[in-house]
Amino acid sequence: MGERGNSPSPYFLFGDKGDNIMITQTTMYNVKNRSSSMVVYRIPETNLRREFSPGETKRIPFGELEKLTYQPGGKELLENFL
């Protein structure tokens, strides 16, 4: 018990049937603009710019969302608007 080798990676989800689901950099997520305004973010390292119209949903890979959290204001965008 408590052995480091037996604990799941932070990139594992536990499904509703008890199965483990591994999250990879390419795992896709639906991301919706929950605000009534346009939301735009940039990830300069990958030369990426995304625009979301109000209510728009896009499929975004986990790796991109992770990189967004490292951008100034990225976590706030995800928590409050997307």
Instruction: Note the pLDDT tens digit of each residue in 3-46.
Output: 444 444 455 555 566 566 777 888 899 999 999 999 999 999 99
Q: Where do the DSSP E strands lie in 1-82?
A: 12-14, 20-22, 28-32, 39-43, 48-52, 57-61
User: 11-20, 47-56, 62-71: which has the minimum mean pLDDT?
Assistant: 11-20
Tell me, yes or no, if the pTM score tops 0.75. no
Q: What contacts 51, CB < 8 A, 6 or more positions away?
A: 38, 39, 40
With 0-12 CB in 10 A as exposed, 13-18 as middle and 19+ as buried, what is 82? buried
